[in-house]
Amino acid sequence: MIVATTVMAGLGLLAGLGLGLAARFFAVEVDPRQEKILDVLPGANCGGCGYAGCNDFAAAVARGEAAPDGCPVGGAETAVAVARIMGLVVEEKERRVALVLCQGTREVAPSKFRYNGMASCASAALLAGGDKLCRWGCLGLADCQVACAFQAIEITEGGIARVIPERCTACGKCVAACPKDLIKLVPESAPIHVLCSSRDKGPVARKACQVACIGCKKCEKFVGDESMKVEDWLALVDYDHPPRDPAVAGECPTGAIVELHLDAKKPVH
């Protein structure tokens, strides 16, 4: 019994020494800046930076492979903190907010058939583009809501997705999840938006949705510059230089153009 115990203890000691030596021999040296960067990150592990999680992003920044302002959740404050650790200076960027470019509720956008399949926009879109007569519209089956880790998206009573600006971190997961490409990240200070994505000709678009853009160009003529233009029967906002005059919304005959305050400090109309 004593011999067996001694042998087992010796084997355990040898195994421990072997593991210790192996750990020391195969150890990967971690850049101390990586730990410091990780400490200032929000820890959401959402993947909005393009990496698997905060630790991978911190490692990429420490290696010089990722920019200090690559974390959309942390925003400007985190970018400054990460840059300081790396001995760099970053230019503060305006906060961006996700926006669903569709107002096609069930009341204004009729259906062409009754969908009875899997509750997924991606699945529904495979069947003739979805149940809506407007082939461009929001299907309201919550793929974007499921993808959002911050509970920043709700499905309204009218059956379309809506972003809650004060909760949005601009991680971009909802943008990727939407099979209709209806969600965009826009500057929070931009006051004028075209909440439509239809590129059908005017009469077709209006038949499919009462609040669709019909490409009449009244908005384009009203602003008189490149801040708004109509392409393929759809009015587009130049978010690098967005229009500021709220009166342009009144020029739209269908109500596709709206004034919205996406700043978290301001109420959303």
pLDDT digits (tens, 9 = 90+) for 223-253: 999 999 999 999 999 999 999 999 999 999 9
**Is residue 22 assigned to a domain?**
no
Same domain, 101 and 227: yes
Hey, CA dihedral for 36, 37, 41, 46, is it positive or negative?
Answer: negative
Let me know whether 100 and 194 are in one domain.
Answer: yes
At residue 265, the pLDDT reads 52
What is the per-residue pLDDT across 209-225, written as a single tens digit (0 to 9) for each? 999 999 999 999 999 99
184-213, pLDDT tens digit by residue? 999 999 999 999 999 999 999 999 999 999
CATH number at residue 40: 1.10.15.40
Same domain, 114 and 68: no
Range of the domain at 228: 96-259
Closest CA to 205 of 185, 230, 223: 230
What value does the mean pLDDT take over residues 27-50? 82
Instruction: Using pLDDT thresholds of 50, 70 and 90, give the confidence band for residue 157.
Output: very high
Last residue of a domain, one of 64, 93, 122: 93
In a domain, 173, yes or no: yes
Is 70 exceeded by the pLDDT of residue 69? yes
Total domain count for the chain? 2
Indicate if the pLDDT at residue 97 is higher than 80. Answer: yes
Residue 20 lies in a domain: no
Query: Do 200 and 134 belong to one domain?
Result: yes
> Sign (positive/negative) of CA torsion 218, 224, 228, 233?
positive
234 and 134 in a common domain? yes
pLDDT at residue 215, rounded to an integer? 97
Do residues 252 and 230 make contact, with C-beta atoms less than 8 angstroms apart? no
Who has greater pLDDT, 77 or 28? 77
Lowest mean pLDDT among 60-74, 155-169, 233-247: 60-74
Is pTM, for the whole model, over 0.95? no
Q: Count how many residues are written for the chain.
A: 269
Structure token pair of residue 63: 């290696």
| Residue 7 in this model has a pLDDT that exceeds 60 | no
Main-chain phi, psi angles of 97, to 5 degrees = -135, 140
